[in-house]
Amino acid sequence: MNWNNWIRQSHRWLSIAFTVAVIINIVAMVMQQQAVWIGLLALFPLILMLLSGLYLFALPYLAPRRGSTSGSQA
Question: How long a stretch of residues is the chain?
Answer: 74
Residues 4-28: what's their mean pLDDT?
92
Q: State pLDDT tens for residues 17-69.
A: 999 999 988 888 888 877 778 888 889 999 999 999 999 999 888 887 766 55
pTM above 0.85, yes or no: no
Helix (H) or strand (E) holding 67: none
**Cα-to-chain-centroid distance, residue 51:** 7
* Alpha helices, DSSP H, located in the chain: 3-30, 36-40, 43-62
Q: Is the pLDDT of residue 72 over 60?
A: no
pLDDT for 1 equals 66
Closest-CA residue to 39 (of 29, 54, 31, 52) = 29
